[in-house]
Structure 1
């Protein structure tokens, strides 16, 4: 069996074995199974093949040309080349046998799969000299093998569809998640369909909640209509039985109401499947196919399996949405329905509930009107993430509002709130930050109970995190008989903003909470000045934390700015005593402001005086200072600079010696300022001065 031409002297002879008379011989038994044998003498270049072998090749024994290449020449070129290469490789190697399949052309134009199996005989040197083997018609087994492979391929595809659908549905939490998984990128490919429509049963109506791909426009007719068996989806839901239709004619014949829409249908076959979970009908799923013309048993079972997976996911999602609606409704009912407007400032609040089912927490905010035109602000968090935490939060919020409304100082309010929570005997604790704000003077009295302190955004955009004293969480402090909540006083100058928040805004599982606080401070610094706009900015930029599985409460309070007039601009800045960069920042702010106001010639003197007055406050008092810089609207414009603190001790004029390191502040002020003085301001005092082009200095006598 090769295409090598024989020598003229070695013309091969063809011997055909005939079956024996009488009992069936081996050759005859092989022939009855379309199997023949051959013997190929490589040295003599002769080929002996029986009649059965020739019939396998479709050759007439009487007209067979007896040379080895005759059989291979009968094959088509691609098969001939493949067979030659395989046989030559077997002979050249050191193997003792070979086996291969190839195609033989038939007279009717079809092809027959043929199998050759042979053993190679070699001499003592390993050279091949004889091949003995059999050839047989292998069409039946190859065809069966192709069928099996195709069947296995279909089953693998069906298994893949089920696995991908199960995986996608297992991640779907809400009804929106289910529809997104079915209609999103790869959704139809996941189901092996060209279009789908999904509907939910709502009392006596059928609501189509999503449709994609080749979903027919006729589906829109039953979007929110009464259940009508004239339409396939409604009929499937009512009967609880699937419908498999393999042609548009069959669809219209079964549902004549769809005949007006027949020309619009882009599909050929459709599977209408009821969605049933725990014996309760939920809705229906329709799958549409462009090319399909049949649904065999496996394909029907696949569709029913997909419907079962979707039904279970949909039932779980509907339950989740109902639970979440209940939980968030309860949480919303516990929070203030509206926030009143305040005089001298603006307030914005935001609340985002936890994302999973009843996993709402006890976060809250509140704004409380207080006597003497003050306002109380609070954010807090009750331990736990369930409806019990939300219920406790509602009781605690009302109690704290009542104590604050009575006019008690912040420390007393938190002490009483802690006692109230402990008396509820719930084994829950709560954290909170509470502040009383006087927007007229800018005074803020704040304390905290195991909670984050507030952030302050200054006029220049810097954000500080002042150290706020406080005590243990509410409830725990009473259990440990430690209801002392120390207060901290802050000064909120016009235009500055106070930000209170709960841990859900800065805490992400597995991440450093300090990094979350720094991220919040950055966004507060770069956000807009308006309270509402800043709250929206934080919601947008930190939205990944809104859905981190914890509640978030946010309160933004801004004191109204005091810009002055174009003829008399004004700025305010609070310098914290514990802020090491506050002094240099204040000096820079003064210089920049005077440059912006076209008064740069006064910047050196004003910066020098600013430093002297602030150093005196930071060294000799126990608090911070409020710096005010303004331009007096006079014919000759002068700068008025004021530094206010909470100390009642007035500075004294001294006469320092040559080696003294202090005591020259008032002398320097008297030398630089046009006018200066000291005024009482409520709980403290203010040292002020005016700097201008006048040459005469009028000093206010020190006390």
Structure 2
């Protein structure tokens, strides 16, 4: 060119450089080519316009599939779209390889974009270069495998710490950062969520940095666009204010990408490299995909951690502590929510100090109540109803009501709040709750028990014998507002432990009530530690180790909520408060009341006696004791208007023990020995006692009488007890010994 001559046109310059010019109108779906561009595509060397399908037919199909992702990435980041593409002829042969460079222009109103770019022929890639450049081949296959593995690993991460650990271990194909950092945003400040490849304390200058700071991560959070810095010179030129903070790390390239979820930028991810990286479109595509997966994983982890925090706070606010310490008694409890969701449910326990009362310990501690219950369901509503019911029970107990009155009022309360109508006029789903309420006198060990559809309690005696104690009960709370709840009185002897639990402990693992109780009984019998050890042993035997709301482990996969409450009256050898050895053999004792209206409980009394004699040396003597006990209790129900009180006591050393069974009633009529004929259906009771018992008698009382018998383990008497037709339901064919 001579001085003063006009500059050549853009087309002339590009033609002299063997570079074609094209324009892609995305809205119209048309591509306009100049003559050089048409030539490079194997068309006549003249300007032309093609449809998208027409232009697509000129490229290798694998390369064309890459175009959309590269263009979308450039549109999102406002950067150049660059790719290497293979040109095909009509026979499907590759005739040349071209490089396309373009910049998208997005219409601000419609969101449609237009691409204007260049096309230039380039040489084929040398062998081995595919791993570090954006061309089809091994690099693409490595990238796809990497993204699949990274996506799987990030999807399985359950906490923010696990997500960051996975991100730090990612090895990207062809280029791997040696420094990572995840930034968050709180109001107008930048925070550090986690980092890798830096020394402790290096994050200090970047923590709580203002979003207005001239720092790449702050800009990414502000704008939602990625920032790529291929060299220290780029970094220093674009961010001179923050360059001194990054300089001493000795890195050569940086990528700052937005962490975006549902259109909202929640933070930024920095990947820093100790060697120069050009950040080609394929490399940017990998980084962008990882950033999206990382954002999703962090979002899921944040939600899960928030739910766990909510669950923990909700349960801790609803479940009480077991203080203050009760002199002479030890209490332990465990609560384990079911797995899934917020892990909240309807099981609960409580310990309530009761007002007044004449029984006071030396420290001033008086009577208290233990409550355990289960509201129907494992959802948030069940947890809410549980909280309301627990407060109501505590209020009624604090007013001084007896156990039966406390449960009656609680049932009416639950019925009222579940049998109601919501604001939109729809009826609420009715719910019920089971409950076991025990009023405890720590000075005497007396337990007054009221039960509302809940599993019966069990007692572990001082020598390890375990009895399930049947108690009178009523309907679950909330079913009938006028339901009655009779009270059962038991005495907890020194070194004995009371177990109260919800059905989740019993029936988990495919067990029913019977097999579940047998499993729990074995654990109680083998226990020789303190109360916390026993509580942990019970829940761990059902579920195995993991974490829960009290000391001791449980797993995360649970079929039902579990609540366990243990009360031990401290005595020698119990393991909870006294370390002294047992000097005298412990005494086993059980007491059962059989009401006139509950003759079916005779079978329960027989079962109680069999459990009491589980290790008696002579099985025939056990059968004899059960038969005589059934006769005595049945006699009271048939021939008097009173209830029968059964007390059975086992004392002495093993092999030389004595069993004494006594049945008391309120009638003054004494039984008399008779001589029934062979066909008589009654009158053999005292004859039976005389034949089978080592000793027996009838004692008048101030009001009523008691009939008793004794068996001695060493005597072996009654090796072959007579068969009087004892039935399974508790009735005997000989209905009276009188």
Which TM-score applies when normalising by structure 1? 0.58
CA RMSD of aligned residues (A): 5.2
Contact 1:530 1:558 in 2 (8 A): no
Q: Look up the match of 1:533.
A: 533
Q: Indicate how the Cα distance of structure 1 residues 344 and 142 shifts in structure 2: closer, same or farther if over 3 A, else same.
A: closer
Contact 1:162 1:306 in 2 (8 A): yes
| Whole-angstrom distance in 2 between the partners of 1:681 and 1:571 | 30
| Whole-angstrom distance in 1 between the partners of 2:125 and 2:303 | 54
Q: Look up the match of 1:107.
A: none
Contact 2:404 2:485 in 1 (8 A): yes
Contact 2:260 2:292 in 1 (8 A): yes
Q: Please list every run of 5 or more consecutive structure 2 residues that lacks an aligned counterpart in the other structure.
A: 1-122, 360-366, 421-427, 547-553, 593-602, 634-643, 679-683, 713-738
1:448 and 2:451 aligned: yes
Q: Look up the match of 1:431.
A: 433
Q: Look up the match of 1:560.
A: 570
Superposition deviation, residue 215 in structure 1? 4.9
Q: Indicate how the Cα distance of structure 1 residues 314 and 402 shifts in structure 2: closer, same or farther if over 3 A, else same.
A: same
Q: Look up the match of 2:385.
A: 392
Q: Indicate how the Cα distance of structure 1 residues 150 and 350 shifts in structure 2: closer, same or farther if over 3 A, else same.
A: same
Contact 1:368 1:404 in 2 (8 A): yes
Q: Residues 280-319 of structure 1 correspond to what in structure 2 (within 5 A)?
A: 280-287=264-271, 293-319=277-303
Q: Look up the match of 1:457.
A: 460
| Whole-angstrom distance in 2 between the partners of 1:652 and 1:612 | 20
Query: Which of residues 136, 151, 155 is equivalent to 2:140?
Result: 155
Which TM-score applies when normalising by structure 2? 0.56
| Whole-angstrom distance in 1 between the partners of 2:220 and 2:125 | 43
Q: Indicate how the Cα distance of structure 1 residues 145 and 293 shifts in structure 2: closer, same or farther if over 3 A, else same.
A: closer
| Whole-angstrom distance in 2 between the partners of 1:511 and 1:585 | 24
| Whole-angstrom distance in 2 between the partners of 1:331 and 1:206 | 33
1:620 and 2:642 aligned: no
Contact 1:493 1:573 in 2 (8 A): no
Q: Indicate how the Cα distance of structure 1 residues 197 and 462 shifts in structure 2: closer, same or farther if over 3 A, else same.
A: farther
| Whole-angstrom distance in 1 between the partners of 2:455 and 2:560 | 16
Q: Residues 205-220 of structure 1 correspond to what in structure 2 (within 5 A)?
A: 206-212=190-196, 214-215=197-198, 219-220=202-203
Contact 1:199 1:209 in 2 (8 A): yes
Q: Deviations over 1:229-275 (max 9, x none)?
A: 5876566546644344556887789632244443xx7xx65533332
1:548 and 2:558 aligned: yes
Q: Residues 222-371 of structure 1 correspond to what in structure 2 (within 5 A)?
A: 224-227=207-210, 229=213, 236-237=220-221, 240-245=224-229, 255-262=243-250, 270-287=254-271, 293-353=277-337, 356=340, 358=342, 360-370=344-354, 371=357
Superposition deviation, residue 538 in structure 1? 3.7
Superposition deviation, residue 288 in structure 1? 5.2
Contact 1:504 1:546 in 2 (8 A): no
Contact 1:562 1:570 in 2 (8 A): no
Q: Indicate how the Cα distance of structure 1 residues 202 and 469 shifts in structure 2: closer, same or farther if over 3 A, else same.
A: farther
1:668 and 2:652 aligned: no
Q: Look up the match of 2:407.
A: 414
Superposition deviation, residue 300 in structure 1? 1.0
Q: Look up the match of 1:127.
A: none
Superposition deviation, residue 162 in structure 1? 3.6
Q: Indicate how the Cα distance of structure 1 residues 616 and 333 shifts in structure 2: closer, same or farther if over 3 A, else same.
A: same
Superposition deviation, residue 345 in structure 1? 1.7
Query: Which of residues 149, 159, 171 is equivalent to 1:177?
Result: 159
Q: Look up the match of 1:471.
A: 474
Superposition deviation, residue 612 in structure 1? 8.1
Q: Residues 498-647 of structure 1 correspond to what in structure 2 (within 5 A)?
A: 498-505=498-505, 511-512=510-511, 520-541=520-541, 542=543, 543=546, 544=554, 547-548=557-558, 551-563=561-573, 568-575=583-590, 578=604, 617=629, 619-621=631-633, 625-627=647-649, 629=651, 643=660, 647=664
Contact 2:646 2:664 in 1 (8 A): no
> Which structure's residues are more often helix, by fraction?
1
How many residues get paired? 518
Q: Please list every run of 5 or more consecutive structure 1 residues that lacks an aligned counterpart in the other structure.
A: 1-138, 592-603, 632-638, 671-675, 692-703
| Whole-angstrom distance in 2 between the partners of 1:685 and 1:231 | 93
Q: Indicate how the Cα distance of structure 1 residues 317 and 379 shifts in structure 2: closer, same or farther if over 3 A, else same.
A: same
| Whole-angstrom distance in 1 between the partners of 2:709 and 2:511 | 45
1:375 and 2:368 aligned: yes
Superposition deviation, residue 170 in structure 1? 4.3
Structure number with bigger Rg: 1
Q: Indicate how the Cα distance of structure 1 residues 330 and 656 shifts in structure 2: closer, same or farther if over 3 A, else same.
A: same
Contact 1:656 1:662 in 2 (8 A): no
Q: Indicate how the Cα distance of structure 1 residues 645 and 418 shifts in structure 2: closer, same or farther if over 3 A, else same.
A: farther
| Whole-angstrom distance in 1 between the partners of 2:134 and 2:256 | 30
> Matched residue of 1:257: which SS?
helix
Q: Indicate how the Cα distance of structure 1 residues 224 and 388 shifts in structure 2: closer, same or farther if over 3 A, else same.
A: farther
Q: Deviations over 1:571-616 (max 9, x none)?
A: 132458748786677567688xxxxxxxxxxxx9xx9999988875
